[in-house]
Amino acid sequence: MAPNRLTLVQPEPGQSRYAALAAALRHRVMAGEWPAGTPLPAETRLAAEHGVALGTLRRALELLAEQGLIERRHGKGTFVRGGLAGATMLRFFRFGSGDGEVPRSRVLSRQPVVASAEVARRLGVAVGDPVLRLHRLRSLQAQPRLLEDIWLPLPLFAPLLDWPLADWGDLLYPAFAERCGVAVTRATDEIGFATLTAAQARHLDLPPGHPGVTVTRQAYDLTGRCVELRTTRADAFAFHYAVTIT
């Protein structure tokens, strides 16, 4: 945690004092002063550091909470939003006895490639920029269930290039945070359906042309930058998704 300091807020023309303070606090988070999941200092200390009234500070924190950068926890304080812990791909499927189990994961291949037009568009990089491509198989009860293609921008994920595959765990997001300092805080998933190619079906122990479901994920960090593009394929007959509308 940084030492006490006095950094007076200087609003831009037409900018409110609390909005300027929110921008200053955002800069401190983005600079790594408070990593994802860690608490912010006490409100009185932050107000004193920036030379503002407590009410101004609280309005700035409310703005950052609305923007998804921080979260207020009742009785505990204010925290930088942590990385995703849930949103597992398995919520889309029912695989019988394996439900509720964390899939065992195996990276089939890892290679730096150049971004295609579609990958570049979704990651927000230029066509031809370097990306790391992972081909991964995930199993439940020793049965292959999910086949994934994952693209990660370089050099952001360069530490994964030489990391021994035997040391990778079954979950990627903790590895992103530990090895690359990247916390995934938000993701969007799109669902589509198509028959599996012969190669895809072979990995999943299914016949060629078997109906498949595709989940395309774009994952984002605290800054709103897309840090992962993932395509997950599985047996369409195992697809199951429920939503409650109120």
Preceding peptide of 174 cis, ω within 30°: no
Please give the average per-residue pLDDT across 104-122, as a whole number: 97
- For the domain made up of 17-80, the CATH class stated in words is mainly alpha
Does residue 232 have a pLDDT over 50? yes
What gap in Å lies between CA 118 and CA 138, rounded to an integer? 24
- Predicted confidence (pLDDT) per residue in 174-189, tens digit: 888 888 888 888 899 9
Which candidate, 33, 32, 8, places its Cα nearest to that of 21? 8
- Count of other CB atoms within 10 angstroms of residue 125: 18
Averaged pLDDT of the chain: 89
Q: What angle do CA 211, 227, 214 make, to 5 degrees?
A: 5
- Predicted confidence (pLDDT) per residue in 115-153, tens digit: 999 999 999 999 999 999 999 999 998 999 999 999 999
Distances (CA, A) of 22 to 63, 66, 67, 77, 246: 7, 11, 10, 17, 34
- Count of other CB atoms within 10 angstroms of residue 203: 16
What gap in Å lies between CA 21 and CA 7, rounded to an integer? 10
- Predicted confidence (pLDDT) per residue in 32-80, tens digit: 788 777 899 999 999 999 999 999 999 999 998 887 788 888 888 898 8
Does residue 110 have a pLDDT over 80? yes
5-17: buried (b, 16+ CB within 10 Å) or exposed (e) per residue? Answer: eeeebeeeeeeeb
Q: What confidence score (pLDDT) does residue 98 get? A: 52
- Predicted confidence (pLDDT) per residue in 157-212, tens digit: 999 999 999 889 898 988 888 888 888 888 999 999 999 999 999 999 999 999 99
| 3-state percent helix, strand, coil for the chain, nearest multiple of 5 | 30, 30, 40
What proportion of the chain, given as a percentage, has pLDDT over 70? 93
Supply the pTM of this predicted model. Answer: 0.75
The residue extents of the domains of the chain are 17-80, 89-238
Question: Which CATH superfamily is 89-238 part of?
Answer: Chorismate lyase-like (3.40.1410.10)
Cβ pair 40, 79 in contact under 8 A: yes
